[in-house]
Amino acid sequence: MSPDQLFGQLLVGLINGSFYALLALGLSIIFGLLGIVNIAQGAFYMAGAYFSWLMLQTLGVNYWAALVLSPLMVALLGVVLEKFIVFRVYGPDHMPGLLLTLGLLLIIQGVFVYIFGAVARPYPTPDALRGGWDLSFVFLPKYRVWTVAVSILVCFATWFFIEKTSLGRTLRAANENPVLTRAFGVNVPALMTFGFGFGVALAGFAGVLAAPLYTVSPLMGVDLIITVFAVVVVGGLGSILGAVVTSLSLGVVEGFTKVFYPQASHMVIFVIMILVLLVRPAGLFGTEK
Protein backbone atom coordinates (compact mmCIF):
# COMPACT_ATOMS: atom_id res chain seq x y z
CA MET A 1 0.00 0.00 0.00
CA SER A 2 1.30 3.45 -0.95
CA PRO A 3 2.05 6.19 1.63
CA ASP A 4 -0.75 8.25 0.07
CA GLN A 5 -3.29 5.50 0.82
CA LEU A 6 -1.95 4.96 4.33
CA PHE A 7 -2.06 8.66 5.14
CA GLY A 8 -5.54 8.89 3.66
CA GLN A 9 -6.71 6.07 5.90
CA LEU A 10 -5.08 7.74 8.89
CA LEU A 11 -7.05 10.89 8.11
CA VAL A 12 -10.29 8.89 7.83
CA GLY A 13 -9.55 7.30 11.18
CA LEU A 14 -8.91 10.68 12.77
CA ILE A 15 -12.17 12.03 11.34
CA ASN A 16 -14.17 9.15 12.79
CA GLY A 17 -12.23 9.52 16.03
CA SER A 18 -13.09 13.23 16.10
CA PHE A 19 -16.80 12.48 15.95
CA TYR A 20 -16.38 9.78 18.59
CA ALA A 21 -14.49 12.30 20.76
CA LEU A 22 -17.18 15.00 20.64
CA LEU A 23 -19.97 12.54 21.36
CA ALA A 24 -17.99 10.70 24.04
CA LEU A 25 -16.97 13.98 25.66
CA GLY A 26 -20.60 15.06 25.98
CA LEU A 27 -21.57 11.62 27.23
CA SER A 28 -18.78 11.69 29.84
CA ILE A 29 -19.77 15.17 31.07
CA ILE A 30 -23.41 14.11 31.47
CA PHE A 31 -22.45 10.88 33.24
CA GLY A 32 -19.92 12.60 35.48
CA LEU A 33 -22.36 15.32 36.53
CA LEU A 34 -25.74 13.58 36.46
CA GLY A 35 -24.83 9.91 36.69
CA ILE A 36 -26.84 9.16 33.53
CA VAL A 37 -25.63 7.06 30.60
CA ASN A 38 -27.12 9.22 27.86
CA ILE A 39 -27.87 6.82 25.00
CA ALA A 40 -29.92 9.64 23.40
CA GLN A 41 -26.60 11.35 22.51
CA GLY A 42 -26.92 9.75 19.07
CA ALA A 43 -30.30 11.44 18.54
CA PHE A 44 -28.85 14.84 19.46
CA TYR A 45 -26.02 14.25 16.97
CA MET A 46 -28.62 13.56 14.28
CA ALA A 47 -30.69 16.58 15.36
CA GLY A 48 -27.66 18.86 14.99
CA ALA A 49 -27.16 17.73 11.40
CA TYR A 50 -30.87 18.11 10.61
CA PHE A 51 -31.20 21.55 12.19
CA SER A 52 -28.29 22.81 10.07
CA TRP A 53 -29.81 21.26 6.92
CA LEU A 54 -33.21 22.78 7.69
CA MET A 55 -31.75 26.23 8.26
CA LEU A 56 -29.89 25.99 4.96
CA GLN A 57 -32.96 24.84 3.03
CA THR A 58 -35.59 27.11 4.58
CA LEU A 59 -33.72 30.20 5.80
CA GLY A 60 -30.60 30.18 3.67
CA VAL A 61 -28.40 30.06 6.79
CA ASN A 62 -24.86 29.15 5.76
CA TYR A 63 -22.64 26.48 7.26
CA TRP A 64 -20.71 28.85 9.51
CA ALA A 65 -23.83 30.26 11.16
CA ALA A 66 -25.28 26.75 11.46
CA LEU A 67 -22.11 25.62 13.24
CA VAL A 68 -23.08 28.00 16.05
CA LEU A 69 -26.88 27.98 15.89
CA SER A 70 -27.51 24.24 15.55
CA PRO A 71 -25.65 23.24 18.76
CA LEU A 72 -27.56 25.99 20.58
CA MET A 73 -30.86 24.58 19.29
CA VAL A 74 -29.81 21.08 20.34
CA ALA A 75 -28.81 22.43 23.77
CA LEU A 76 -32.25 24.04 24.11
CA LEU A 77 -33.92 20.75 23.22
CA GLY A 78 -31.74 19.00 25.79
CA VAL A 79 -32.55 21.57 28.49
CA VAL A 80 -36.29 21.14 27.92
CA LEU A 81 -36.01 17.35 28.11
CA GLU A 82 -33.86 17.55 31.25
CA LYS A 83 -36.22 19.94 33.04
CA PHE A 84 -39.35 17.92 32.33
CA ILE A 85 -38.22 14.29 31.95
CA VAL A 86 -34.59 13.40 32.59
CA PHE A 87 -34.34 14.87 36.11
CA ARG A 88 -36.76 12.19 37.31
CA VAL A 89 -34.18 9.41 36.97
CA TYR A 90 -31.28 11.01 38.85
CA GLY A 91 -29.81 8.65 41.43
CA PRO A 92 -27.15 6.03 42.09
CA ASP A 93 -28.91 3.42 39.95
CA HIS A 94 -27.85 4.01 36.33
CA MET A 95 -30.33 1.60 34.72
CA PRO A 96 -33.43 3.90 34.79
CA GLY A 97 -31.46 6.68 33.10
CA LEU A 98 -30.09 4.32 30.46
CA LEU A 99 -33.55 2.97 29.65
CA LEU A 100 -35.10 6.44 29.63
CA THR A 101 -32.50 7.89 27.26
CA LEU A 102 -32.78 4.82 25.04
CA GLY A 103 -36.49 5.58 24.81
CA LEU A 104 -35.76 9.22 24.03
CA LEU A 105 -33.37 8.13 21.27
CA LEU A 106 -36.06 6.01 19.63
CA ILE A 107 -38.76 8.68 20.05
CA ILE A 108 -36.65 11.53 18.63
CA GLN A 109 -35.51 9.34 15.77
CA GLY A 110 -39.11 8.28 15.10
CA VAL A 111 -40.29 11.90 15.02
CA PHE A 112 -37.65 12.82 12.42
CA VAL A 113 -38.45 9.72 10.33
CA TYR A 114 -42.16 10.63 10.45
CA ILE A 115 -41.51 14.24 9.37
CA PHE A 116 -38.69 13.79 6.86
CA GLY A 117 -38.79 10.10 5.95
CA ALA A 118 -35.79 7.78 6.07
CA VAL A 119 -34.25 9.12 2.86
CA ALA A 120 -30.76 10.57 3.32
CA ARG A 121 -30.22 14.18 2.20
CA PRO A 122 -26.94 15.76 1.03
CA TYR A 123 -25.45 18.82 2.68
CA PRO A 124 -23.06 20.91 0.55
CA THR A 125 -19.49 21.52 1.64
CA PRO A 126 -18.90 25.25 2.33
CA ASP A 127 -17.10 27.02 -0.53
CA ALA A 128 -14.16 28.05 1.63
CA LEU A 129 -13.40 24.41 2.50
CA ARG A 130 -13.73 22.80 -0.91
CA GLY A 131 -10.73 21.28 -2.63
CA GLY A 132 -7.51 20.57 -0.81
CA TRP A 133 -3.73 20.77 -0.71
CA ASP A 134 -1.47 18.60 -2.86
CA LEU A 135 1.66 17.86 -0.81
CA SER A 136 3.13 15.64 -3.58
CA PHE A 137 3.12 12.58 -1.32
CA VAL A 138 -0.51 13.01 -0.26
CA PHE A 139 -3.61 15.06 -1.08
CA LEU A 140 -5.25 16.72 1.94
CA PRO A 141 -8.95 17.61 1.51
CA LYS A 142 -9.58 20.93 3.25
CA TYR A 143 -12.86 19.96 4.87
CA ARG A 144 -11.50 16.74 6.36
CA VAL A 145 -8.51 18.56 7.86
CA TRP A 146 -10.86 21.26 9.19
CA THR A 147 -13.07 18.62 10.81
CA VAL A 148 -10.18 17.03 12.70
CA ALA A 149 -8.63 20.37 13.70
CA VAL A 150 -11.80 22.02 15.00
CA SER A 151 -12.87 18.84 16.83
CA ILE A 152 -9.55 18.64 18.69
CA LEU A 153 -9.74 22.37 19.45
CA VAL A 154 -13.26 22.05 20.89
CA CYS A 155 -12.23 18.99 22.93
CA PHE A 156 -9.25 20.88 24.38
CA ALA A 157 -11.40 23.94 25.13
CA THR A 158 -13.95 21.71 26.89
CA TRP A 159 -11.25 20.02 28.96
CA PHE A 160 -9.83 23.44 29.90
CA PHE A 161 -13.29 24.68 30.87
CA ILE A 162 -14.05 21.66 33.06
CA GLU A 163 -10.64 21.35 34.68
CA LYS A 164 -9.26 24.90 34.88
CA THR A 165 -12.14 27.38 35.34
CA SER A 166 -14.12 28.25 38.44
CA LEU A 167 -17.41 27.20 36.83
CA GLY A 168 -15.86 23.88 35.86
CA ARG A 169 -14.67 23.35 39.44
CA THR A 170 -18.17 24.16 40.67
CA LEU A 171 -19.63 21.61 38.27
CA ARG A 172 -17.23 18.96 39.57
CA ALA A 173 -18.01 19.92 43.16
CA ALA A 174 -21.74 19.60 42.47
CA ASN A 175 -21.10 16.10 41.16
CA GLU A 176 -18.91 14.98 44.07
CA ASN A 177 -20.91 16.52 46.91
CA PRO A 178 -24.19 18.17 45.82
CA VAL A 179 -25.43 18.69 49.39
CA LEU A 180 -22.31 20.61 50.48
CA THR A 181 -22.26 22.56 47.21
CA ARG A 182 -25.89 23.58 47.74
CA ALA A 183 -25.01 24.70 51.27
CA PHE A 184 -22.63 27.27 49.76
CA GLY A 185 -25.55 28.83 47.90
CA VAL A 186 -24.94 27.16 44.53
CA ASN A 187 -28.03 26.29 42.48
CA VAL A 188 -27.18 22.63 41.87
CA PRO A 189 -30.28 21.78 39.75
CA ALA A 190 -29.43 24.68 37.42
CA LEU A 191 -25.86 23.39 37.12
CA MET A 192 -27.16 19.94 36.21
CA THR A 193 -29.43 21.42 33.56
CA PHE A 194 -26.51 23.41 32.19
CA GLY A 195 -24.30 20.29 32.17
CA PHE A 196 -26.88 18.27 30.27
CA GLY A 197 -27.43 21.06 27.74
CA PHE A 198 -23.68 21.50 27.25
CA GLY A 199 -23.15 17.77 26.81
CA VAL A 200 -25.81 17.39 24.13
CA ALA A 201 -24.63 20.59 22.40
CA LEU A 202 -21.31 18.85 21.74
CA ALA A 203 -23.23 16.08 19.98
CA GLY A 204 -25.12 18.68 17.93
CA PHE A 205 -21.82 20.32 16.98
CA ALA A 206 -20.50 16.95 15.78
CA GLY A 207 -23.67 16.51 13.72
CA VAL A 208 -23.08 19.80 11.88
CA LEU A 209 -19.47 18.81 11.16
CA ALA A 210 -20.61 15.41 9.86
CA ALA A 211 -23.35 16.79 7.58
CA PRO A 212 -21.11 17.73 4.60
CA LEU A 213 -19.06 14.51 4.92
CA TYR A 214 -21.99 12.12 5.16
CA THR A 215 -25.61 12.43 4.17
CA VAL A 216 -28.12 13.77 6.71
CA SER A 217 -30.40 10.95 7.82
CA PRO A 218 -32.65 10.25 10.84
CA LEU A 219 -30.77 6.97 11.30
CA MET A 220 -27.26 8.45 11.32
CA GLY A 221 -26.88 8.47 15.11
CA VAL A 222 -28.08 4.99 16.04
CA ASP A 223 -25.09 2.87 14.98
CA LEU A 224 -22.65 5.60 15.96
CA ILE A 225 -23.80 5.85 19.58
CA ILE A 226 -23.22 2.11 20.10
CA THR A 227 -19.60 2.54 19.03
CA VAL A 228 -19.23 5.72 21.09
CA PHE A 229 -20.54 3.93 24.18
CA ALA A 230 -17.88 1.24 23.70
CA VAL A 231 -15.22 3.96 23.33
CA VAL A 232 -16.37 5.64 26.56
CA VAL A 233 -16.24 2.32 28.42
CA VAL A 234 -12.67 1.77 27.22
CA GLY A 235 -11.64 5.27 28.31
CA GLY A 236 -13.55 5.14 31.58
CA LEU A 237 -17.06 6.46 32.23
CA GLY A 238 -16.93 10.09 33.35
CA SER A 239 -13.28 10.63 32.34
CA ILE A 240 -12.84 13.71 30.13
CA LEU A 241 -9.26 12.84 29.17
CA GLY A 242 -10.18 9.20 28.59
CA ALA A 243 -13.05 10.15 26.27
CA VAL A 244 -10.81 12.22 24.00
CA VAL A 245 -7.66 10.07 23.95
CA THR A 246 -9.44 6.76 23.43
CA SER A 247 -11.80 8.21 20.80
CA LEU A 248 -8.98 9.46 18.59
CA SER A 249 -6.86 6.34 19.18
CA LEU A 250 -9.63 3.86 18.49
CA GLY A 251 -10.77 5.85 15.45
CA VAL A 252 -7.28 5.39 13.97
CA VAL A 253 -7.20 1.70 14.93
CA GLU A 254 -10.58 1.20 13.28
CA GLY A 255 -9.40 3.05 10.16
CA PHE A 256 -6.31 0.92 9.69
CA THR A 257 -8.27 -2.26 10.42
CA LYS A 258 -10.47 -1.44 7.41
CA VAL A 259 -7.31 -1.56 5.28
CA PHE A 260 -5.49 -4.59 6.64
CA TYR A 261 -8.41 -6.75 7.81
CA PRO A 262 -11.74 -5.27 6.63
CA GLN A 263 -13.82 -8.11 8.04
CA ALA A 264 -12.90 -7.08 11.58
CA SER A 265 -13.33 -3.32 11.16
CA HIS A 266 -16.83 -3.27 12.62
CA MET A 267 -15.89 -5.27 15.69
CA VAL A 268 -12.34 -4.21 16.55
CA ILE A 269 -13.44 -1.51 19.02
CA PHE A 270 -15.74 -3.95 20.81
CA VAL A 271 -12.97 -6.55 21.00
CA ILE A 272 -10.69 -3.92 22.56
CA MET A 273 -13.48 -2.98 24.97
CA ILE A 274 -13.81 -6.58 26.16
CA LEU A 275 -10.04 -6.95 26.61
CA VAL A 276 -9.80 -3.69 28.57
CA LEU A 277 -12.71 -4.62 30.82
CA LEU A 278 -11.10 -7.98 31.60
CA VAL A 279 -7.92 -6.23 32.75
CA ARG A 280 -9.28 -2.93 34.08
CA PRO A 281 -13.05 -2.85 34.64
CA ALA A 282 -13.08 0.92 35.29
CA GLY A 283 -11.51 1.66 31.88
CA LEU A 284 -8.06 2.94 30.99
CA PHE A 285 -8.58 6.36 32.58
CA GLY A 286 -11.39 5.52 34.95
CA THR A 287 -11.16 5.48 38.73
CA GLU A 288 -11.62 2.22 40.61
CA LYS A 289 -14.44 2.53 43.16
Return the pLDDT at 131: 85
User: Does residue 31 sit within a domain?
Assistant: yes
User: Does residue 158 sit within a domain?
Assistant: yes
What is the rounded distance in angstroms from the CA atom of residue 9 to the CA atom of residue 89? 42
User: Does residue 3 sit within a domain?
Assistant: no
What is the rounded distance in angstroms from the CA atom of residue 71 to the CA atom of residue 207? 9
User: Does residue 251 sit within a domain?
Assistant: no
User: Does residue 2 sit within a domain?
Assistant: no
pTM for the model stands at 0.92
Average pLDDT over residues 24-29: 89
* 189 Cβ contact list (under 8 Å, min separation 6): 87
Return the pLDDT at 70: 96
User: Does residue 43 sit within a domain?
Assistant: yes
Return the pLDDT at 101: 93
Range of the domain at 19: 13-219
Return the pLDDT at 264: 83
Rounded alpha-carbon distances, angstroms, from residue 263 to 50, 136, 254, 257, 269: 31, 31, 11, 8, 13
Average pLDDT over residues 229-245: 86
The predicted-structure confidence for 118-132, as pLDDT tens digits, reads as follows 888 999 999 888 888
Return the pLDDT at 225: 87
Residue type, 275: L
Of 16 and 46, the structure prediction assigns the larger pLDDT to 46
The predicted-structure confidence for 1-12, as pLDDT tens digits, reads as follows 566 667 777 878
What is the rounded distance in angstroms from the CA atom of residue 269 to the CA atom of residue 231? 7
User: Does residue 227 sit within a domain?
Assistant: no
Return the pLDDT at 197: 94
User: Do residues 40 and 104 make contact, with C-beta atoms less than 8 angstroms apart?
Assistant: yes
CB atoms inside a 10 Å sphere around CB 134: 9
- Of 2-16, 103-117, 247-261, which one has max mean pLDDT? 103-117
Return the pLDDT at 166: 85
CB atoms inside a 10 Å sphere around CB 120: 13
Indicate whether 289 pLDDT > 60: no
Maximum pairwise Cα distance, the chain: 62
The predicted-structure confidence for 64-79, as pLDDT tens digits, reads as follows 999 999 999 999 999 9
Which among 151, 140, 146 has a CA at the least distance from the CA of 128? 146
Q: What is the DSSP letter of 126?
A: P
DSSP string, 97-110: HHHHHHHHHHHHHH
Cα radius of gyration rounded to whole Å, the chain = 19
* 70 Cβ contact list (under 8 Å, min separation 6): 48, 49, 51, 52, 55, 204, 205, 207, 208
User: Does residue 68 sit within a domain?
Assistant: yes
Return the pLDDT at 1: 58
Indicate whether 234 pLDDT > 80: yes
Mean pLDDT over all residues of the chain?
Answer: 87
What is the rounded distance in angstroms from the CA atom of residue 220 to the CA atom of residue 211? 10
Q: What is the DSSP letter of 214?
A: S
Q: State the total domains in the chain.
A: 1
Return the pLDDT at 164: 84
pLDDT band at 147 (very low <50, low <70, confident <90, very high): very high
Average pLDDT over residues 71-98: 90
